[in-house]
A = this chain, B = another copy of it.
Amino acid sequence: MSSSFVDTSFHVRYAETDAMGIVHHAAYIVWFEEGRSAYMRACGLPYSEVERRGYWFTVAEVRARFHTSARYDERIVVRTWLTELRSRGLTFTYEVRRVADNALLVTGETRHICVDHTGAVRRIPQDLLAALRPSEVTNISKEGQ
């Protein structure tokens, strides 16, 4: 698939650190979610709109590999790609870096299934599929998205 990506950037929150003095590993899973939220906003299809349409992209699998740790107040950038888009599901891939030195902190993927609000698996409607297609996304790097 295309190499279109979207960057979103923020500071590490104190609440995201743990007693090791670094960002707790579960915080990155939340940051992945921030990454795909930013990706979808950049597509012109905010995830809140998907929900209003009666669908959820429920999380079927998460995987994260931790390379380097980050600390409170450091500026972070999450780069998100849509690496798979199928009729009933999609996969996002993430790279989390520290802005100051571009150090690679964490990489990961999340796999999602399209369900309706009863939980039944559903085809992603054509217009949503079209909006998500990476060719529709120009690479976007925004501070403070």
Instruction: Spell out A's residues near B (CB within 8 Å).
Output: 9-11, 13-15, 17-22, 24-26, 29-30, 33-34, 37, 41, 46-48, 51, 56, 58-66, 69, 71-73, 119, 142-145
A143 to B142, CA, bound (A): 11
How far, in Å, is A98 (CB) from chain B's closest CB?
13
Q: Are A18 and B19 in contact (CB under 8 A)?
A: yes
Q: Are B14 and A18 in contact (CB under 8 A)?
A: yes
Q: Are A13 and B25 in contact (CB under 8 A)?
A: no
Copies of this protein, total: 4
Q: Are B66 and A60 in contact (CB under 8 A)?
A: yes
A63 to B21, CA, bound (A): 23
A29 to B18, CA, bound (A): 14
Other than the given A13-B34, A20-B58, A25-B29, 6 more pairs (CB < 8 A) read A9-B144, A13-B33, A19-B19, A46-B73, A48-B73, A60-B66
Q: Are B72 and A61 in contact (CB under 8 A)?
A: no
How far, in Å, is A28 (CB) from chain B's closest CB?
9
A22 to B118, CA, bound (A): 12
How far, in Å, is A42 (CB) from chain B's closest CB?
13
